[in-house]
Every structure is written in C-alpha cells, then in structure tokens.
Structure 1
C-alpha cells in the first residue's frame, strides 16, 4: 500500500520556520494603512457627535486606527476624560477605553 505524505509534499523543504514567519509578516504589512490626518472641521464634528452620545445616551459607531488597521466599535459614550484624553464607550457586555488621538471617524447609529 502506498503511503502519501499529504500536504507535506507541497511545502518546500528549504523553508524554515523563520522564513514562513517572515513571509507571514510581509503579507500582514501589505494590508496596513496609514493613519488619516483629520482637519479641524472633522475634529469638531467628531466632538459634537461624541457629546451628543454622552448627553443623550445615543448609540454611535467609532472607527479607530491602531497599528495600521481600522477597528469599529458601537456603543454609548459613558464618560470623556479631557485630562488623559480618553473616551469610555459602553458596549453590551464591556466598557472600552479609547484614546481620542486614535479616533478617525464617528457616526450616529
């Protein structure tokens, strides 16, 4: 009976684990995006929407930029810390602390 090596035969024998990790890192870096620069009008609009969520308990969607990738969070702003520059966002099951400088967009839900 012939025993096949399965998927192992399709992997090059000369690739070491370090090479595979390097190729994976290069692939991940390809999809990273630069942080957008917000102008004064966009920052003002973000501030207005955040304060509406805080004052009227409205649900908003906050887009943040972290390490080259964009993440969306939906919730209600529970607190704004101007001194430390954080926004605290209440989600269904957790509270998230978001740095104000990481925010790239805010939308009303």
Structure 2
C-alpha cells in the first residue's frame, strides 16, 4: 500500500498555500463620493473631539480594522495618522 502524501513536494505545498490565500481574498470596495465624504467627516470629528474611531482598510484583498483616536490629518499626502 502506497502513501498518497509522499508524492507531494514543497512546490505542491506552496501552490496549495497560495491557492488558499487567494481563495479568501475580497475584491476592493468601490466607494462613491458620498461614502468618501462620510468617512472624511468621521475622521474630522474624531480629530476635533478626540473621540475613538474604527478604521477599516483593504490591502491585497484583505480587510484590517484599527481602533483609535485621530491625531493628525495631512491634506497634502492624504495620509491619516492615528494611534
């Protein structure tokens, strides 16, 4: 009796991991102008009132969530700074 898993090489393992990684990716959401304005409003309010805000970002098909208080908004680079 042969063992079926003995024929799997490191290349096969890498392919399987990549397939699993790609399977769980989500498409990047498309935001309309009103959604962007709403997000900017929430960021500005958090900066002004020093209130806690949750920020969700999408990178490489995966969503990340951070909770904090906005400390600075740089209008020139459109980067938001929070802790």
| Greater Rg over alpha carbons, structure | 1
Q: Given the two structures, how large is their TM-score scaled by the length of structure 2?
A: 0.93
Alignment of 1:1-109 (within 5 A): 12-90=5-83
Q: Give distance in 2, aligned partners of 1:11 and 1:68.
A: 33
Cα drift, residue 82 of structure 1: 1.2
Query: Structure 1 stretches (4+) deviating beyond 3 angstroms?
Result: none
Partners of 1:69 and 1:36 lie apart in 2 by: 11
Q: Distance in 2 between matches of 1:10 and 1:57?
A: 61
Structure 1 pair 56–31 and aligned structure 2 pair: CA distance change class (3 A): same
RMSD: 1.5
TM-score by length of 1: 0.71
Aligned partners of 2:4, 2:49: CA distance in 1, in Å?
57
* Higher relative contact order, structure no. (Cα contacts within 8 Å, ≥ 6 residues apart): 1
More helix by share: 2
